[in-house]
A and B are shown apart, each in its own frame.
Chain A
Amino acid sequence: MSDAPFSLEEKLGRLREIVAQMQQGISDFDQQMKLFQEGTTLVNSCREFLDKTETSVQQLIKGEITDFPHTGL
């Protein structure tokens, strides 16, 4: 699924919902798999976003860039 319109906070919120829902117990296997897939995608997306953001912050501190390229913080 596309994560473009979601901020980091929104992604984390969705991730918390997914984990809470899955922890309640397994009933529908396919549904459970879909949730797991969505959660894993969200985790990777968040990690990637945080990696990019941290790189940008370090570049800003060093003065290598002047504009912050990301939003979502």
Chain B
Amino acid sequence: MDTQPTYQVGELTAYIKHRLERDPALQQLRVAGEVSNLTYHGSGHVYFSLKDAQAQISCVMFRSQAQSAPRMAAGDKVTLIGDINVYPPRGSYQLVVQKVEKQGLGDLYQQFLELKARLQKEGLFDPAHKKALPPFPRKVAVITSPTGAAIRDILRTLQRRFPPVQIVVIPAVVQGVQGKDSLVQALDEAQRSEAEVIILARGGGSLEDLWNFNEEAVARAIRASQLPIISGVGHESDVTIADFAADLRASTPTAAAEHAVPDQSALLQQLSAFEQQLQRGLQHYIDFKRQVLDDYTHRLQQLTLSFLGQQRHQVEILATQLAGLDMTQLLERGYTLSLKAGKLQTSSQDLQAGDEIETIFADGRVSSTVQTKKDFERPASPTDSAL
């Protein structure tokens, strides 16, 4: 029809791409089917088709997603999560896969939930059962595969954080059908290792890969352990029954090693800080006490000198009083004293003519006899006189 515009191929493909990639129903979708034409490319990308009886769709999984996805084989029944996109050079549409769930996984997950619920109800995960970790373990037992990244990460972390720690590695099969018994046996062996804490670890993997850590026998062996157990299984997001049963769940093997031993350099820093605080505290105490002592010394001196001053004042008051009673000074100035029979005479009225008296001078005494006497008329007191 003449009214219809004529597109170039590129324009049409761009329009189709736009329509498909903007359709929410085609983004983050889940699709189930069987894997075929599978190629793990040298670049790390994975190319395959997903098919069922009626149709097939091209799929690509890029390297970054492929690394953490379970390994697939042709014929596997899988559920894929991803986005539909259009690849213009080939005029094809494809599913860009973000996540692969192998079928049967749903069954495993169901088992996981059931076991978790049952053991939880039984009290196997009760926080009251959790054993405290020793703050400074002398020996750490590590249960994991003797090969692989997990053991390397753990040994490196333990030695970096706390060089003096002794490490005993108890090798275990951590994947496959022998794993369950191997882990239970390793846990039993760890009890006799003289370690003070156990690290139970495994590197990342799919749910199936980690399945041994979801076994009931392993969970019970963990709970039965006399020694505290730190689990470090898989990546951050992987949680296993073993994690719930363990005394402490660490997110990764490295994190488990970090929890197992203290950080020696941090401890030394803290120790050094304590030492400084102690010295400063002691210095402050000494300074304070010295100040108190200075204060007391000053008061002691003041009180003593003040007391001596008071005593001296007392002495001087008495000395002045005594000086006022010094009769020799009177005699020196020419006054004399009269005695009769050794008694000082203070009134002429006490003497009669003929009395023997003694007169005292500053420089001697003379004896004489009273010849005459004349008493002075004393001025009358105001009360006696009618003025």
Contacts and interface: CB of A to CB of B under 8 A. Distances in A.
Contact of A50 (B304, B311, B318, B344): B311
B366 interface: no
A65 interface: no
B342 A29 contact: yes
Interface of A: 8, 12, 15-16, 18-19, 22-23, 25-30, 32-33, 36, 39-40, 43, 46-47, 50, 53-54, 57, 61, 73
B327 interface: yes
Contact of B308 (A15, A30, A39, A57): A57
A16 B342 CA distance: 25
Contacts of B346: 25-26
A19 B343 contact: no
A46 B325 CA distance: 19
B318 A12 contact: yes
Contacts of A57: 301, 304-305, 308
Given A36-B326, A54-B305, A28 B343 contact: yes
B72 interface: no
B385 to A, nearest CB: 28
Given A12-B311, A23-B325, A50-B311, 4 more contacts: A22-B322, A26-B344, A28-B342, A33-B328
B133 to A, nearest CB: 59
Interface in B350-386: 360
Contact of A43 (B319, B327, B360): B319
Main secondary structure of the interface of B (DSSP, over half): helix
30 contacts: A12-B315, A15-B315, A15-B318, A16-B318, A18-B322, A19-B322, A22-B322, A23-B321, A23-B325, A26-B344, A27-B343, A27-B344, A28-B342, A28-B344, A29-B342, A32-B344, A33-B327, A33-B328, A36-B326, A36-B328, A39-B322, A46-B315, A50-B311, A50-B312, A50-B315, A54-B305, A54-B308, A57-B301, A57-B305, A61-B301
Q: Which 3 A-B pairs have the closest CB atoms?
A: A43-B319, A46-B315, A22-B325
Secondary structure of the A side of the interface? helix
Given A27-B344, A29-B344, A29-B360, A43 B322 contact: yes
B315 A19 contact: no
Nearest to B297: A61
A47 B315 contact: yes
B322 A40 contact: yes
Interface string B304-340: 1101100110110011011001111000000001010
Contacts of A28: 342-344
Nearest to B307: A73
A15 B311 CA distance: 13
B19 to A, nearest CB: 104
A30 to B, nearest CB: 7
Nearest to B365: A29
Contacts of A26: 327, 344, 346
Contacts of B304: 57
B322 A29 contact: no
A43 B318 CA distance: 8
A24 B342 CA distance: 18
Contact of B325 (A8, A19, A27, A43): A19
A61 B343 CA distance: 54
Most buried by A among B304, B319, B360: B319
A8 B326 contact: no
B377 to A, nearest CB: 24
A50 B322 contact: no
Contacts of A27: 343-344
